[in-house]
Amino acid sequence: MAASDAAQLKSAREDIKEILKTTYCHPIMVRLGWHDSGTYDKNIEEWPQRGGADGSLRFDPELSHGANAGLTNALKLIQPIKDKYPGITYADLFQLASATAIEEAGGPKLPMKYGRVDITAPEQCPPEGRLPDAGPRIPAEHLRDVFYRMGLDDKEIVALSGAHTLGRSRPDRSGWGKPETKYTKDGPGEPGGQSWTAEWLKFDNSYFKDIKEQRDQELLVLPTDAALFDDPSFKVYAEKYAEDQDAFFKDYAEAHAKLSNLGAKFDPPEGFSLDDDKGAAATDEKAVADPEPTVVAPEPTVAAPAPADATNGAGPQPEPFVAAKYSYKKRELSDTMKQKIRAEYEGLGGSPDKPMQSNYFLNIMIVIAGLAFLTSLVGN
């Protein structure tokens, strides 16, 4: 059973879209996902000590970190969705909300995957100090210290910085920005704050253009923003994104998806997508028999999770064992094969009047698979 139910995730995505339409909370949803995953430390192997996208931000010890000021408002918006869909994890929900906000604001389609496992206790939260600071003494060096620790490079640092095209900074939360500007005094949503761009609910490459031109004093430029055009390596990408929105969208989509996976523990280990018609069953690829004649170990298979409305959110149900799935599309074994199987069965101590123990059943099924493989070789 996957960590999250794919059908419930899809439904939750639609509910998030409705919240975005009515509350204009795109920026804080992006921040929610980022701050949950941005605590990852590549130098720590153990989960969850390594931090990352594990749902830890829902607990007070982490929520109270200075860099997370104001994110309690995001949790208040997202909690009813979690209550409605108990079959999904917080870790997946935070990243789903972040990705949906980007896409609904006009950004690129993000190659997201799901199946993140949640931590279970506040004691598992990462220590404070792993998230970036807006006004460090040496901005470029600070950005590299933080993002290199996560395993990200200069291109990804600049691309991810472009998400500041959304949102505002409020001095009462971060200590940065003006109380209000001509772009924020009337909302939408709660008025106030200072935005990086004029259309701060639209995802595009305006962030890079505005920093490069620096013509509008009403727009916010933090020290870490200015560093993107001051640092020679960062500047290569910042200049490129200011001129080419398609290039920015491509690199951003890849960097966002990578950030959302940092430190996560996935179940199934490879994760699953919601957009390839396989995500509706988190483990479809394992549950559906291969149409080609492939020898498989005759272990009980697990059916893909049914849609939430069919199972009331219950997990996947065991699929009845069907021998034909393991007989190369033949409905019946040949008489010769049946005799061989019977001989092996009796040789192991079984008979119609004396059922074998469960461990013998496994042995005989392995024998069946072996004989089927030999038969196919002889046929070929």
Q: What is the architecture of the domain spanning 1-124?
A: Orthogonal Bundle (1.10)
| Residue closest to 71 by CA, chosen among 118, 19, 32 | 32
What is the CATH number that goes with domain 139-256? 1.10.420.10
Report pLDDT for 55. Answer: 98
Question: pLDDT of 190-205, one tens digit each?
Answer: 899 999 999 999 999 9
The helix (run of H) or strand (run of E) holding residue 334 is none
Question: ω into residue 126 within 30 of 0, thus cis?
Answer: no
Report pLDDT for 307. Answer: 37
Domain ranges of the chain: 1-124, 139-256, 333-377
Task: Output the CA angle 200-203-206, nearest 5 degrees.
Answer: 70
The answer to whether 245 touches 138, Cβ cutoff 8 Å, is no
Phi-psi region of 276 (alpha: psi -120 to 50; beta: other; left: phi over 0): alpha
Residue of 35, 65, 142, 164 with catalytic role? 35
3-state secondary structure 91-123: HHHHHHHHHHHHHHCCCCCCCCCECECCCCCHH
| Residue closest to 84 by CA, chosen among 29, 3, 15 | 15
The answer to whether 228 touches 160, Cβ cutoff 8 Å, is no
Q: Is 35 a catalytic residue?
A: yes
CA distance 369 to 362: 11
Is residue 349 over pLDDT 70? Answer: no
Identify any residues that bridge with 318 across adjacent strands, giving them in sequence order: 302
pTM: 0.73
